[in-house]
Amino acid sequence: RLSAPQQQDLLNGYDRSGKAFFRGLKELVTVGYFSSEPGATIALRYDPVPGDYRGCVPLSEIGRGWAT
């Protein structure tokens, strides 16, 4: 029932507190999202057959992270 700004303030408070439970929950949610189809195809760039390996490419060159 909290407004969006109140929800954000609540979560920011939990994040700043450094509690192990919230850190673990945040990690699981992040891994779960980026392991899902929407996370890997919308938020990341998914290429099932990547090309040559090029390390240390500037993010501005590729636009966003890769999920392979």
Does 32 score more than 80 pLDDT?
A: yes
- What predicted TM-score, i.e. pTM, was given to this entire model? 0.56
At residue 22, the pLDDT reads 92
Percent of the chain with pLDDT over 90: 50
Using alpha carbons only, what angle is made at residue 29 by residues 23 and 39, rounded to the nearest 5 degrees?
Answer: 140
Does 7 score more than 90 pLDDT?
A: yes
Does 66 score more than 70 pLDDT?
A: no
Mean pLDDT, rounded, for 16-30 = 92
Name the 3-class secondary structure at 45.
strand
Mean pLDDT, rounded, for 39-49 = 82
Distance (Å, whole) CA 24 – CA 61: 32
